[in-house]
Amino acid sequence: MTKTLTGMYAALMTGLSDDAEFDEARQTKLTEYVLKQGLAGLYVGGSSGEAGLLGVDELSVQQGIVADCAKDSGTRLIAHVGMPNLRDSIRLATQAADLGYEALSALPPHSYPFSDEEIESYYRDLAAATDLPLIVYEVPIRTGRPIPLDSLVRILGFPNVSGIKFTSTDMFKFSMLRRRCPDSSYFFGFDEIYLTGGVLGADGGIGTTYNVLGKLYVALDAAMRAGDLPRAQELQDVSQIFVEALLETGVLPGMKTALRLLGIECGPTRTPMLLRMSQDKADAHMRAVLDRPEVIAWLV
């Protein structure tokens, strides 16, 4: 079976004004910048885009802006629509289908300690709401608990469910899932260890740091698939240098700092998400990383 959803996708960030309101102009500029990086596509409205801190109306406007920016670019668009309730998820999913997005994705419901049966029901109903393929999401670091293997196997068997974004370090589970559902598409979600997922059979990656280093991740994936593991390891090391710096600032605040230093102003993160240091210190911290020769080589 030929898989239609593969490759490297930036988990697109969100442009906000200085007072943290959704900013259409900044979103447009940011999207245009990421589109220059040669990625297979954009993953719109996910955690990297602060979706949990945005309203459904804002996410709806964002979907439209990104669709306009990407028109005729050949870049594929996946809309993340995983809201706290199914009604809002279906609203975003339906609009994404109307806008020409090629696929959907969604966090499992996590506002309450939902049962496996409730999570399965959510995905079954969301997958049935449009004709678009749906990528489900395993991300225990966000939801607070993993979805059991048997439950994931059932979910991947639902009509319109075409794959999974796997953001977990349980690589044995990842491998078992691939063997049980070989026709599904597998995206790996930890940027700093993408090579691990790729070697174990991921069809591509979806990541936050792709907003800045998209070209690097495309090259890393290509090296891995060509069997050039030393080159792939070298590129993964560069990725890890960047991620290490972000862990000190806070990942999304640090990313927005880096983007601003590169001339792409996309505002602050929305509270309660904050930098872990003063803005001046964050600027100096991220500038030092961006000025490293091995990082400069991959900036657009």
pLDDT surpasses 90 at 1:
no
Residues assigned a catalytic role: 137, 165
pLDDT(286) > 70: yes
Q: Is the pLDDT of residue 105 over 90?
A: yes
Per-residue pLDDT, 110: 87
According to the model, what pLDDT value does residue 49 have? 98
pLDDT at 4: 82
> Which amino acid is located at 146 in the chain?
P
Q: What was the pLDDT predicted at 115? A: 96
Q: What is the pLDDT of residue 216?
A: 98
pLDDT tens sequence across 177-235: 999 999 999 999 999 999 999 999 999 999 999 999 999 999 999 999 999 999 999 99
Structural contact between residues 154 and 128, judged by C-beta atoms closer than 8 angstroms? no
Helix ranges, the chain (H): 24-35, 56-70, 86-99, 116-128, 140-143, 149-156, 171-180, 194-199, 210-225, 229-249, 251-261, 279-290, 293-296
Of the pLDDT bands very low, low, confident and very high (cuts 50, 70, 90), residue 261 is very high
What's 136's DSSP letter?
E
In the CATH scheme, what is the homologous superfamily, with its name and number, of domain 7-226?
Answer: Aldolase class I (3.20.20.70)
Query: 142 and 11 in contact (C-beta within 8 Å)?
Result: no
The mean pLDDT of 125-153, rounded to a whole number, is 96
Contacting residues for 122 by C-beta, under 8 A, at least 6 apart: 86, 89, 108, 109, 114
Question: pLDDT category, 111, cuts 50, 70, 90?
Answer: confident
pLDDT of res. 3: 83
